[in-house]
Structure 1
């Protein structure tokens, strides 16, 4: 498999990104209920195309990473946060997630960030291993923060310098 082309999302990508989110939804990584019709707009005032880097193969989006500010505080503008990562089942395990994480680090650097953070569910071992391999370290844990499928799950904060 050739490496995917990484680019910033466009408004026209809305439907494809929304579908990707729906087909990859799982309590392994989602704390919100499974999406049900009617689906709200994917892009809104808090989720804009410029926050998304997409991985494209053969003119199809096969993954994305969302990079946004964790707060609107002026004292926090040096930090960006990964607020979503998804890869289609067909390319999972082929390095697309790793390529997206590396692209997010480069984009954070390009935007002048000093730190990049993320939150990941404690039971999401594949994601945690990927983030650790890409230089993220656990910086905090909120024990049993979420109740998912009848189980209490930790919320893990990870971060790294860019």
Structure 2
């Protein structure tokens, strides 16, 4: 599979993104106790298409990254946060996740952010390895912060400076 096209999300991507979210749900990386319902909207008033970059291959959505602010406080407006990342099974291990992370970092820079952060569950070693290879470092760990999949797991805080 060649490198995917990374583009801003559009309103008409919602069905494909919702399906991708359901198909990729796992307690390895999601704190929700169950996958999204089939009729649950993907976009929300505070998290619409403008908060997402989409990976597309041959006209098909194969991944997304969600960017936002870690808090609504103006004193934190210089920071962007990766608030979600999903890659379709058939696109994993082919550079799609890496392309989305790189696009998120570039989008944060384009918006004038000085830092980019994220949170990842401790057992999600594949994601942690990807983030570390793209310059993110562990900045904190909240031990046993979530109870998912029948066990307590750490919430790992990662970030990188952009300036």
TM tier relative to shorter chain: over 0.9
Cα deviation, residue 38, structure 1: 5.3
Cα deviation, residue 4, structure 1: 0.7
TM-score, normalised with respect to structure 2: 0.96
Counterpart for residue 73 of structure 2: 73
The 4+ residue runs of structure 1 with deviation greater than 3 A are: none
Distance 1:106 1:76 in 2: 19
Q: How many residues align?
A: 162
Q: What's the Cα RMSD here?
A: 1.0
Counterpart for residue 155 of structure 2: 155
TM-score, normalised with respect to structure 1: 0.97
Cα deviation, residue 161, structure 1: 1.1
Cα deviation, residue 39, structure 1: 2.6
Indicate the SS of the match to 1:23: helix
Counterpart for residue 115 of structure 2: 115
Unpaired segments ≥5 residues, structure 1: none
Cα deviation, residue 150, structure 1: 1.7
1:105-154 deviation digits (Å, cap 9, x = unpaired):
10000000000000000010000000000000000110000111221100
Counterpart for residue 88 of structure 1: 88
Counterpart for residue 64 of structure 1: 64
Which residues of 2 match residues 124-139 of structure 1 at below 5 A?
124-139=124-139
Counterpart for residue 40 of structure 2: 40
